[in-house]
Chain A
Amino acid sequence: MELLSPAGSLPALKAAVDEGADAIYLGLKDDTNARHFAGLNFTDKTMAQGVNYAHDRNRRVHVAVNTFAHPNRSQAWFDAVKKTHDMGADVLIASNIAVLEHAATHYPEMELHLSVQAAATNVAAINFFKQFGVKRVVLPRVLSYQQVANLAQDTDIELEVFAFGSLCIMAEGRCYLSSYMTGESPNTVGACSPAKFVRWQETDLGLESRLNDVLIDRFAEGENAGYPTLCKGRFNVEGEITHALEEPTSLNTLSLLPQLNNIGISALKIEGRQRSPAYTRQVTQTWRRAIDAMKKNPAEFQVHDEWNKCLSALSEGSQTTLGAYERTWQ
């Protein structure tokens, strides 16, 4: 079971490699990937350095070209595929049919992983994407543990699951909440709740966070004020002010580690290309320790308090959850 860490920059990539990630995933500095944030991602130069750094230490680099190609600028996505190939990256992660098909026909030897943004949640959907020679599927964060286990049994394709990080509560790639509120779609622009629409304001009622002028949350003094990701706001449902969709919280599956290993999951993905190199370092280190401990003695595996403490401190709202893996969350 491989540990796959996020890198939003060269220092983050190096930190992940140094702390024992088996592979690192990254994106280019444009809207061809789903973490298209200012100051983030890789230029030709940093990508070349990153690939070298990882390969010198026998680790693999995955490149996410996982937004959806625009009809009038599809070439930009095809160029990103070419770059991934020419720079010697090991894996292309894609979700768009156009991108998958282009990669399959032009670079048939390149390893293809189906991005979570393709929202393949069932065997039939996975079979659809097999036509492009996909070797691995990254599962959306909407399946219960049992459903993941069933899928693992029913398909011969490699499965990768999210192990830790910000929790997307909707089927990925199928959520238009952000474009409904801001006009920019994660699928086509590459960012959910983009920072340029965020505004913070101290008022008599408390600290307010807004996204494109829409009030997402209002915090009393001493309350933990998180980034206004719109599905984690506090809204009014028939008079009750509540986190109507989800609370600010992160996914943490440390406790599921032996089970995920047992059902043959190929890789554990850490979310967070938008986070700092320090985040990548700490999360990678913690997960490396946990995976190594589990591999050494699966039957006796126990989650150490210090691992959970470290991960909680790096989580949204300092809270973690098993998310959809656990039926009660649903």
Chain B
Amino acid sequence: MKFSMGNIQFYWDKQSTTDFYQQVADSSVEYVYLGESVCSKRRELRLDDWLEVGRELSKKGKAVVLSSLALLEAKSELATLKKVCFNGELEVEANDFGAVEILSEAKVPFVAGAALNIYNQHDLKVLLDRGMTRWIAPVELSRDWLVNLSKGCEEIGIKDKFETEVYGYGYLPLAYSARCFTARSEDRPKDQCNLCCIKYPEGRKIDSQEGLELFRMNGIQTMSGSIQNLINDLPSMAGLVDIVRISPHSMEAIEWVDKFRNALVDKTRMPLEGFCNGYWHKIEGMKAV
């Protein structure tokens, strides 16, 4: 079992971002994802900056992947996506079928991100034929689903032809919209958002009127209200999952790499108060088992 650091889905300033990756470089994580997957207006780091961060991480032995935008609406976003896809240095995580198309047409191998609707072995076969090397499962899939899918892959002879990665720790990306919820929460039109997401480095909380933490708004993205934590579920991933992703919301994410790694060895369970892991157990994503 290996571990990855997912790309930062929130909007952090440049200094915090580079500080974070300096620590990631010294962490034990094997894979690192970089770049912007949520909003094309977020440009604290430009493509060249990301590639520079990538080079530093590669020097430390990390396998680096550049993540790409999940929701593409404007033509300018498609142009940016092409630049990301043809960056010439790093493998790309495709989060929209547009990216799959661009990469596969150029015969560039790619990672299939969690924002792609891939639900069964037949979907995976099509993507494999187009150059997929790794698959990040949609966050709503359960262990049971992966067991069935693994059987299905075996039946059609593709079981060992790609790596499987799951979200192990972090807020879950649940939805994408044309609307920017964060700008709207500040009564700003999307076109004059002032990049206000930067004020909410861990997103903005949406609670029920009874105080239950439901969601976090992160620009056009809606995330889970609780952090998903599959640390107690690592033993049940054996044979199904190759890479466990830590998705960062703060510097704290780095400590969780070691916590997960240690849990693999000493097999201790931790109380899940405040966390959720329901999706893995085929129940409500927001629940904890």
In the complex, which residues of chain B have a beta carbon less than 8 angstroms from the beta carbon of A234? 209
Interface residues of A in 230-249 (CB under 8 A from B): 231, 233-238, 241-242, 244-246
A-B Cβ contacts below 8 A, count: 221
Is there contact, CB below 8 Å, between A177 and B178?
no
The answer, yes or no, to whether B97 is at the interface (CB within 8 Å) is yes
Q: Do A176 and B207 have beta carbons less than 8 Å apart? A: no
A246 to B126, CA, bound (A): 36
The CA-CA distance from A180 to B278 in the complex, in Å, is: 8
Please determine whether A176 and B139 come into contact, CB atoms closer than 8 angstroms. Answer: yes
| A158 sits at the interface (CB 8 A) | no
A181 at the interface (CB under 8 A from B): yes
A31 to chain B, nearest CB (A): 12
Cβ–Cβ contact A244 & B97, under 8 A: no
CB distance from B268 to the nearest CB of A (A): 28
Contact B72 A70, beta carbon cutoff 8 Å = no
Whether the Cβ atoms of B179 and A330 lie closer than 8 Å is yes
* Cβ-defined partner of A245 (8 Å) among B126, B181, B208: B181
Say whether B101 contacts A237, CB under 8 Å: no
Of the residues B148, B222, B278, contact of A70 by C-beta under 8 Å: B148
Interface centre among A124, A154, A214 (most CB of B within 10 A): A124
Binds A, one of B16-24, B46-54, B114-122, B245-253: B114-122
B200-237 contact mask (Cβ, 8 Å, vs A): 1 or 0? 00001111111110110100001010000000000000
In the bound complex, how far is the Cα of B211 from the Cα of A236, in angstroms? 8
Contacts A212-B284, A244-B217 known; list 8 others, CB within 8 Å: A71-B121, A95-B117, A171-B178, A177-B175, A180-B174, A218-B209, A244-B181, A246-B179
List chain B positions with a Cβ less than 8 A from chain A: 70-75, 77-78, 81, 96-102, 115, 117-123, 126-127, 138-140, 145, 148-149, 151-152, 172, 174-181, 185, 189-191, 204-212, 214-215, 217, 222, 224, 278-279, 282-287
16 inter-chain pairs at a CB distance below 8 angstroms, sorted by A residue, are A70-B120, A98-B119, A98-B126, A120-B97, A143-B178, A173-B117, A175-B176, A176-B285, A180-B174, A181-B284, A183-B278, A237-B217, A242-B185, A324-B178, A329-B179, A330-B179
